Amino acid sequence: MARVDFITGLHTSTKRDYLGRVTSDDKAACAEVAIKYGKDYWDGDRKYGYGGYKYDGRWKPVAEKIVEHYKLKPDASILDVGCGKGFLLYEISRLLPKATVAGIDISEYGIQNAKEEIRPFLKSPVQTNCLSRQII
């Protein structure tokens, strides 16, 4: 199966200094905070993760490309594993209002801070009791 990349366009459009970001702080210490996938990761200092991950519509072109590439039908069923705050699913649900959408993410904070319209369709492993948080 050929590799399909829907995301690179989002990342290459930024003016941020990626190298400066990964060399400016103790990455191990930052990772200890980030791996909790809580407020610091999503909406805290940029060194821990997104640094304020708010809805801004950037996922709409990605959603359009996904719908077109996979020729999704209006009543498609879509599961987003690792949905974060659900912005991509939100955009897909706007494009395909009759679709069944669901998302799962390890971050309870991400789910709790998703857009109100998509939040009921998102779950965390703790909410679903379907994944263990233990690392074996």
Residue 72 lies in a domain: yes
Residue 108 lies in a domain: yes
Q: Are residues 68 and 118 in the same domain?
A: yes
Q: Are residues 87 and 124 in the same domain?
A: yes
Q: What is the CATH number of the domain that holds 90?
A: 3.40.50.150
Q: Are residues 72 and 97 in the same domain?
A: yes
Residue 5 lies in a domain: no
Cβ neighbours of residue 79 closer than 8 Å, sequence gap 6 or more:
101, 102, 103, 104
Taking only the tens place, the pLDDT of each residue in 106-127 is 999 999 999 999 999 999 986 6
Cα separation values, 136 from 8, 42, 132, 133, Å: 33, 26, 10, 9
Residue 87 lies in a domain: yes
Q: What is the mean pLDDT of the segment spanning 92-98?
A: 98
Q: Are residues 44 and 64 in the same domain?
A: no
Per the structure, how many domains does the chain have?
2
The Cα 111–Cα 118 span in angstroms is 9
pLDDT level of residue 24 (50, 70, 90 thresholds): confident
What confidence score (pLDDT) does residue 41 get? 95
Range of the domain at 44: 18-53
Where would I find the beta strands (DSSP E) of 7-131? 77-81, 100-104, 122-123
Taking only the tens place, the pLDDT of each residue in 38-84 is 999 999 998 998 888 999 999 999 999 999 999 999 999 999 999 99
Site of tokens 């494009």 = 95
pTM of the model: 0.84
Q: Are residues 39 and 66 in the same domain?
A: no
Q: Are residues 65 and 106 in the same domain?
A: yes
Residue 31 lies in a domain: yes
Q: Are residues 113 and 64 in the same domain?
A: yes
Q: Are residues 67 and 27 in the same domain?
A: no
